[in-house]
């Protein structure tokens, strides 16, 4: 009898072990979420991508460029791509093959944008007008066409290129440029170190378009978050983002507005970059 009990117990132990093994195997085969970021490390879009990573407890892939990002997205299951209009504008100028319209394998999770602020040092009198003024700006927008539109509007501006908003801010604080064009979320955090003359948000009382028309005075960094995860997983990812109070707080503090009811909104981003390209690209 004792031998029989021992055999039964041994069989139960084996069954439990096999079940646990199957569970562990299935658990380990679920692919992690990977955030794919094509933007420069100094861009507000990278800060945005890091916030998405934190919300989803995901891995983060910092791409070398947009083509590298698209390739990573295409070969990686459960990828979440942090698209922004600035990267597509730069890609079009360089003839790179990483355009949103060409990406078919996607479920759009979020669509939105962040306006820019144009700032100077406290006590400075520099402004857009007939006097020569230097304006620090992310390099993809520091085009002759853009500069000429400022001048046509009455602002004698020399645009100085930088890698992104963080380096523009550093140059402004160092006195290397008179004015700095930077993400409004970053500018808001400076607490008296700078003063911001204009906003590219038409709803703000200091809207840039009321002073000068640079072709796109209502400029925003336009975001599209999309994923190649399957339908159920995509819904899970979106619900986690939309229901995360910390991510919603980030949207507020970074001055980013948008919607999670975003199906089809990627076309709006494409149309927006079409307008940017027609106005600012050096053709």
In a domain, 215, yes or no: no
Domain end point (choices 159, 192, 210)? 210
In a domain, 148, yes or no: yes
In a domain, 15, yes or no: no
Confidence grade of residue 9 (pLDDT, cut at 50, 70, 90): very low
Confidence grade of residue 93 (pLDDT, cut at 50, 70, 90): confident
Which of 105, 114, 111 lies closest to 238 in space, CA to CA? 111
Confidence grade of residue 23 (pLDDT, cut at 50, 70, 90): very low
Does 249 lie in the same domain as 189? Answer: no
Helix (H) or strand (E) holding 41: none
Helix (H) or strand (E) holding 59: strand 59-62
Structure confidence by residue, pLDDT tens digits, 179-191:
999 999 999 999 9
Provide DSSP, 145-210: HHHHHHHHTT--EEEEEESSHHHHHHHHHHTS-SEEEEEHHHHHTTTTS-EEEEES-TTSTTBGGG
| Predicted local distance difference test score (pLDDT) of residue 282 | 85
Does 178 lie in the same domain as 63? Answer: no
The Cα–Cα gap between 125 and 178 comes to 9
Please determine, for residue 78, whether its predicted confidence score (pLDDT) is greater than 50.
yes
Does 184 lie in the same domain as 69? Answer: no
Mean of all residue pLDDT scores within the chain: 91
Confidence grade of residue 116 (pLDDT, cut at 50, 70, 90): very high
Rounded to 5°, the CA angle 58-63-66 comes to 120
The whole-model pTM stands at 0.85
The Cα–Cα gap between 49 and 244 comes to 15
Please determine, for residue 6, whether its predicted confidence score (pLDDT) is greater than 60.
no
Domain end point (choices 184, 210, 236)? 210
Domain end point (choices 210, 230, 249)? 210
In a domain, 158, yes or no: yes
The Cα–Cα gap between 115 and 64 comes to 25
Backbone angles phi, psi at 143, to 5 degrees: -100, 160
Does 262 lie in the same domain as 135? Answer: no
In a domain, 1, yes or no: no
């Amino acid at each position: 009898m004792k031998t029989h009990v021992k055999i039964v117990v041994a069989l139960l132990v084996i069954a439990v072990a096999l079940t646990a093994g199957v569970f562990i195997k299935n658990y380990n085969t679920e692919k992690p979420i990977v955030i794919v970021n094509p933007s420069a490390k100094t861009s507000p879009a990278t800060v945005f991508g890091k916030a998405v990573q934190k919300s989803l407890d995901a891995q983060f892939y910092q791409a070398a460029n947009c083509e590298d990002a698209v390739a990573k997205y295409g070969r990686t299951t459960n990828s979440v791509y942090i698209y922004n209009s600035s990267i597509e504008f730069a890609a079009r100028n360089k003839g790179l093959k990483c355009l949103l319209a060409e990406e078919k394998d996607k479920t759009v999770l979020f669509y939105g944008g962040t306006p820019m602020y144009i700032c100077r040092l406290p006590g400075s009198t520099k402004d857009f007008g007939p006097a020569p003024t230097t304006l620090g700006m992310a390099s993809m927008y520091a085009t002759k066409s853009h500069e000429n539109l400022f001048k046509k509007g009455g602002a004698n501006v020399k645009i100085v290129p930088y890698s992104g908003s963080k380096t523009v801010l550093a140059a402004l604080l160092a006195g290397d440029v008179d004015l700095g064009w930077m993400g409004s979320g970053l500018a808001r955090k400076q607490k008296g170190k700078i003063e911001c003359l204009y906003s590219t948000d038409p709803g703000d009382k200091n809207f840039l378009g009321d002073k000068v028309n640079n072709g796109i005075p209502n400029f925003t960094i336009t975001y599209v978050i999309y994923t190649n995860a399957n339908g159920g997983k995509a819904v899970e990812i979106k619900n986690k983002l939309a229901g995360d109070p910390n991510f919603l707080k980030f949207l507020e503090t970074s001055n980013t507005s948008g919607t999670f009811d975003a199906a089809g909104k990627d076309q709006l981003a494409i149309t927006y970059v079409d307008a940017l390209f027609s106005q600012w690209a050096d053709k």
